[in-house]
Amino acid sequence: MTMSGVSVWTAEGAHLLHDISWRIQPGEQWAMLGPNGAGKSTLLGIAGATRHPSAGAVTLLGGTFGSCDMRALRAQVGMVEPTPRLLDWLTTEDVVVSGLTQTIRPHWERVGPVETARMNELLHLFGCAHLAQREIRTCSQGERQRLRIVRALMPEPRLLLLDEPATGLDLPAREALLAALTALTLSHPCLATVTVSHHLEDLSPTTTHALLLRAGRAVAQGPIEAVLTPALISDCFGIDVVIQREGGRWFARAAPRWN
């Protein structure tokens, strides 16, 4: 994906994004970080081919916005949102199968041996194989979130977008999610991902790159070691921050203030 000079403004004249240029290569694992109102969801919508920029150029998976079928592009992007609509009475397998057509209800007539094998492989990879016959409403929040990712992976997307995937998860559920995302990187090395988060602690240790947004502008972007620095994170969030890294994981806290 390549964005060049992307800006977004509303009919009322409010600017949501300002002159964003961004490139994602196959196999890269990006984090998108920034405070509330930074423009993360807007930028993610463009990356997912669900909205057009007001200005600038976007090429996504070989298609150029304005001269391609956006529906065809969306079929190649897996999107995991914080609160997607799920029918509670469906089984987890029904929910996963619905990802093949990106619809609310499953279309089992499209499921053959190849799709069944893919579903079983992904359920096992995300630690959800034992949930296959359960109704989705009986699953915990952490289990549901991993199943949403399995669902998004069923059409074999080339780009996976994760919008705050750890929201609402307790510590064990978050760690299970991050372990699954780490395993996904190893099993699908060409898959590019973007994870939107407010918290460094929610990032997988396999994250390779980071983009920092503040007030619709890119504060910094590039390899994660060069971007997740105390100076840049402090500038992005408007507060003095201390950064630590341990075992490939990142941690941030407010710097102590002495009176």
Q: Is 226 helix (H, G, I), strand (E, B) or coil?
A: helix
Mean pLDDT by 10 residues, the chain (259 residues): 94 90 97 94 93 93 87 89 77 92 89 93 92 89 91 94 90 92 93 94 95 96 96 94 91 77
**Around Cβ 70, how many Cβ atoms within 10 Å?**
15
Topology annotation, domain 1-76+159-230: Rossmann fold (3.40.50)
How confident is the model at residue 205, as a pLDDT?
Answer: 94
How confident is the model at residue 70, as a pLDDT?
Answer: 86
For helices 113-125 and 141-153, give the axis angle rounded to 10 degrees: 140
Q: Is 259 helix (H, G, I), strand (E, B) or coil?
A: coil
CA-angle at 197, arms to 182 and 158, nearest 5°: 50
Residue with tokens 């990142």: 250
Using a cut of 0.85, tell me whether the model's pTM lies above it.
yes
Residue with tokens 């994906």: 1
Residues of the chain with CATH 3.40.50.300: 1-76+159-230
